[in-house]
Structure 1
Amino acid sequence: MATDHLGDMRLFAEAASAGSLSAAGRKLGLSPAAASARLAKLEATLQAKLFERTSRHLQLTDEGRVYLAHCTTALQIIDDAQAELRAGRGAVQGKLRISASTDFGRQLFGRWLDAFVDAHPDVRVALTLTDSLSNLHQDAVDIAIRFGQPENSALIARRLGPNCRVLCASPDYLARHGTPRTPEDLGQHRFIVLVTASGPLNQFHFAKGDRSWQYTVPMADAWESNDGALVRAWALAGRGIARKTIWDAAEDLRAGRLRILLPDYVAHEAGVYALRHGTRYMTPRVRAFLDFLVVQFAREATALSDVLPFQE
């Protein structure tokens, strides 16, 4: 019975991926009638409708999306276990599923990922770029890289390195509008604001010695986007001042395309973390990638020390 149920889960996952039950059945060696019967049996067992069916394609129901996330996780764990036994314990191989912010993922992190795969050619990558927090319990993600310490105690967090958010602008913008010297000067400037599902990130905090400041950008006057990469592009084009993590802006700062503003007032933060499920087996590829990231963040922090010294 367990084997049949596992086969039903694979059929369901393949059908969701292909958008076709008959295509999934062919891939698994099943006739259309047999595939339909097995899916009906699975829905009856779960007492839930997994697909809305039309003559052209399948569409997941809300229950189907929830079940697919768990099926993907379960099937990946089983495949990992079988691959590890076949190849020998500790082999770094298989698909690595990662979530990262858009700008970081396209810039610095992209180069690091290439270097890791070059060292481990049997690893394949599924990278999701988003500026919203992923729900790791629903999304099929091995590792999510997030700036700031997570609040979800059900997740295991590994600190990868220090972090701070900086205000930055292009030399062209500063030539036209001047350079702010204190937080009080910000009211005379234009801003580009990242907007997330929880709202605009338009409150800036500053610290120097025992004093602290807060500045809130008036959204009516700001350029805004939910895409961190577009915020970066606008900043490079001189549209205004943007607030970025030091890791997002690293390459632009070193190249002189962006300049840090108010460096003496930067409020340092908890750090950057890798999050993973607390109940999920950590495969050799995940363990190797986490160790790799710690080294990469340490090297980059040293390289950035001439731009902005990190404070632990």
Structure 2
Amino acid sequence: MSLPPLATLRAFEAAARHQSFKNAASELGVTPTAISHQVRLLEDTLGVRLFDRKPRQVVLTDVGQELYPVLRDGFAAFAKAVDRVRNRPVSRSMTVSVIPSFAAKWLLPRLSRFQAEYPDINLRLHTSPEAVDLDRGVADAAIRYGVGPYPGLVAHTMFREQFVPLCSPALGLKKPEDLRNATLLHFDWLRPDDATPTWQRWGQVAGVADHLPSAGISFSDDSHAIQAAIAGQGVVLASPVMARAEIDAGLLVMPFGPEIKGHCYHYVHTGRGDNLREVEAFGAWIESEVSASVPVTDQSSD
């Protein structure tokens, strides 16, 4: 486009609207001399006279009257477009790193409630069995399973995990001793420790360690172990919180106890960043979901 300088057009539009260089100067925050200079520059650029200058006012010439409404409407359109952009809701986003099993069994079924409560937050889930370094920007926050503490991070304990035998009701198990004739389903934990829910540990707590079969089926994904239990292929030592949907649907039952404790789930973040407000909002939502879905006795970190 071959257009005169924008400042000259703006000065002309204001002067034409006010029919005064002085009032135009007051609106634009410049001197009347500056307005006169810009109008003169525009007239020289166009090769026409736009105002008849009189002692106490300026009057548009015929050419000025032709140009003015076009510029008036153009600047009005500019103002409306700028206001729409300025007042548009800012897109808020955050990334949460979650272990795959927790994402699939606990978080994903609840995310529609988060979106309903915070429709302006764009949430991205990063699923990985490994803990990511939040200082490197891979994620803004994380849900981690472990003993803690997490140096340098703000950490909120969500709930302590519990594990109990779960199986298909078709197996007809009634008491721990019935496990001697059952197939035990195992999960290969990434970093086993004293709180890892193994059948050996459960058997010692239940007092039936000598009655447990040595053979079984092992899985690298605990969700696959749960699916095998639903199919009646054996008994899995799993979390009733994570398997709540399957228990409520009657696909799995807890034939007997006891429950054994695992580690806690923690919501962690750096406590800083441009989207800290979003990170804290997600943490508050997580806390409300835990309060509504996890038994009070399971929420303790003790």
* Corresponding residue for residue 244 of structure 1: 238
Distance in 1 (alpha carbons) for counterparts of 2:203 and 2:235: 19
Percent identity, aligned pairs only? Answer: 18
SS in structure 2 opposite 1:248? coil
Q: Unaligned regions of 5+ residues in structure 2, if any?
A: 1-85
Residues 1:203 and 2:198 are matched in the alignment: yes
CA 311–152 in structure 1, closer or farther in 2 if over 3 Å, else same: closer
Deviation at 1:187, TM superposition (A): 4.1
CA contact (8 A) 1:144 1:274 kept: yes
| 2:187 aligned partner, one-letter code | L
SS in structure 1 opposite 2:294? helix
Q: How does 1:136-147 map onto structure 2 within 5 Å? A: 136-137=133-134, 140-147=138-145
Distance in 1 (alpha carbons) for counterparts of 2:120 and 2:150: 32
Q: Unaligned regions of 5+ residues in structure 1, if any?
A: 1-85
Distance in 2 (alpha carbons) for counterparts of 1:234 and 1:140: 34
| 1:255 aligned partner, one-letter code | A
Distance in 2 (alpha carbons) for counterparts of 1:109 and 1:229: 14
The number of equivalent residue pairs is 211
Q: Which runs of 4+ in 1 moved over 6 A?
A: 216-220
CA contact (8 A) 1:169 1:238 kept: yes
Residues 1:229 and 2:206 are matched in the alignment: no
Distance in 1 (alpha carbons) for counterparts of 2:93 and 2:210: 42
SS in structure 1 opposite 2:260? coil
Distance in 1 (alpha carbons) for counterparts of 2:163 and 2:265: 11
CA contact (8 A) 1:160 1:297 kept: yes
- When the two structures are superposed, what TM-score results if normalisation uses the length of structure 1? 0.56
SS in structure 1 opposite 2:148? coil
Q: How does 1:1-312 map onto structure 2 within 5 Å? A: 93-130=91-128, 132-137=129-134, 140-172=138-170, 174-175=171-172, 178-179=173-174, 181-182=175-176, 186-198=179-191, 203-204=198-199, 205-206=201-202, 221-263=215-257, 265-269=258-262, 271-277=264-270, 283-302=276-295, 310=298, 312=300
Distance in 2 (alpha carbons) for counterparts of 1:282 and 1:133: 23
| 1:155 aligned partner, one-letter code | L
Structure with greater Cα Rg: 2
Task: Compute the RMSD of aligned alpha carbons.
Answer: 3.7
Distance in 2 (alpha carbons) for counterparts of 1:136 and 1:155: 11
Deviation at 1:251, TM superposition (A): 1.1
CA contact (8 A) 2:159 2:299 kept: no
CA contact (8 A) 2:163 2:197 kept: no
| 1:260 aligned partner, one-letter code | M
CA deviation profile, 1:152-173 (whole Å, cap 9, x unmatched): 433332012343122211112x
User: Does 250-259 or 148-157 show the bigger shift?
Assistant: 148-157
Deviation at 1:129, TM superposition (A): 2.9
* Corresponding residue for residue 26 of structure 1: none
CA contact (8 A) 2:186 2:198 kept: no
Deviation at 1:259, TM superposition (A): 0.9
SS in structure 1 opposite 2:102? helix
